Structure 1
Amino acid sequence: MEVSQTVETEELMTCLQIQLYHPQQASRALYCMLPLDTRHKHQAEDPMRLGRDAQACTFALADPRVSRKQLSLQAYRTSNSPDIIFSVQNLSQKNFFRSRHWVRVTVNGSELGFLERAELPDKALIRFGEYEMLIRRENGEARGSFEVEFGVLAVPPSREMGMPSMVPVVDTGSDLSTNDIPPLMSHGPMEMDEIIMYCASFID
């Protein structure tokens, strides 16, 4: 049986394996809008956004505490490598306030400010709020597209990578421990200036 010489060989696509952990994930309700354990093809030129807004983002988390647009993953190439590599960009202007601390987006322990980018190694740990997101990259040959596969981890990936547990970063010069201040997270994340004005009203 002769094989046609005109048939193109199917190229193996690069795959991003994104595994999530959250301490309140027992029911998996937080992930109800994610296509878990299924590979999805994504065009390499299009940023892949993650947030709570299913219309503005490629993939969404069912969590009002997550920003409308939280993160963006972008594929790109360099002149000295044939592989597709990825960067992550923080799209959130909002900060999480928990236990008198600010919790910001970190990539392998380094803070990522609003609109800042960081190149992702083959294995990276991204944390925001109480979420831990472990990303692994499997290299492929295709250049125009890649695959994404979401999964859920039973234990925090920071434990596997030997990193400290989620410890919020202190970023306040005043003591906000008074019991008279109601929780700031009741309506989801707040902008920085909104939180400052909110706290100032109680100090006055």
Structure 2
Amino acid sequence: MSSFEEAETEETVTCLHLTFYHPGQAERMVFRCLDFCRRQRVRADDTARFGRDSSLCHYSLVDTRVSRLQFSLQFYRKLHTSEYSFEIKNLSKKTKLTVNQTELGYLNKIDLPWKCIICFGDYQILAEIQEGEAVDYFETHLHLAEAPILQERCLPSLQPIPENGITPSFPLCQGKSPTEIDENELY
């Protein structure tokens, strides 16, 4: 038997891809403390924290408008399943956090959808979960967007679209009216 045949099966790792955007990112260099070059491993029992205080946060944003602790992501396994997910919690007393169209106040938390946009202040973060099997850790992979994520992705409204084709009178996503699309076409 070869060593290849005797080797343990390699398990896949859950990876959270985070794409960051801020309108002043070039001039103010708010992301200069983030490592966009490689995947970073985080222990499963650790909480990934984002904010201004580099002594408390894994991911530090260099901006006085960001709270010392802005938000956290906690990796967990869903009850009675083998699925893994993330929970996002707003840690800022001053700034509300929006996940897609759900607004979170201080200490509010929800499950992170497998693909969503997180917003606070002028910050936009596209979060995408790549599923894996590893139980002891997960990885983060940070990316930098050159254009605003909300304009680029233009997420559809969560408002229902009536069968009669009459669209609501309020503007959606920069003047575009809603159309019926397959869920696979969202992204």
TM-score, normalised by the number of residues in structure 1: 0.72
Shift of 1:161: 3.4
- 1:17-63 Cα offsets, whole Å, 9 max, x none, are 00111111124711110011310000111110000000011110011
Shift of 1:148: 0.3
Instruction: Describe the shift of the 1:109–1:138 C-alpha distance in structure 2 as closer, same or farther (beyond 3 A).
Output: same
Find the residue that maps to 2:129 and give its secondary structure: strand
Find the residue that maps to 2:56 and give its secondary structure: coil
1:139 to 131, 145, 160: 131
Partner of 1:33: 33
Partner of 1:161: 154
Q: Distance in 2 between matches of 1:31 and 1:124?
A: 20
Partner of 1:197: none
**Higher Cα Rg: structure 1 or 2?**
1
Equivalences for residues 122-137 of structure 1 within 5 A: 122-137=114-129
Partner of 2:184: none
Q: Distance in 1 between matches of 2:2 and 2:82?
A: 32
Q: Distance in 2 between matches of 1:110 and 1:126?
A: 9
1:93 has 2:93 as partner:
yes
- 1:137-161 Cα offsets, whole Å, 9 max, x none, are 0001111110001111112221213
Find the residue that maps to 2:16 and give its secondary structure: strand
Find the residue that maps to 1:26 and give its secondary structure: helix
Shift of 1:79: 2.8
For residue 90 of structure 2, what is the amino acid of its counterpart? Answer: N
Question: Any unmatched runs of 5+ in structure 1?
Answer: 96-103, 167-204
Q: Distance in 1 between matches of 2:60 and 2:78?
A: 29
Shift of 1:162: 2.7
Partner of 1:73: 73
Question: Any unmatched runs of 5+ in structure 2?
Answer: 157-171, 175-187
1:109 to 91, 97, 101: 101
Instruction: Describe the shift of the 1:126–1:157 C-alpha distance in structure 2 as closer, same or farther (beyond 3 A).
Output: same
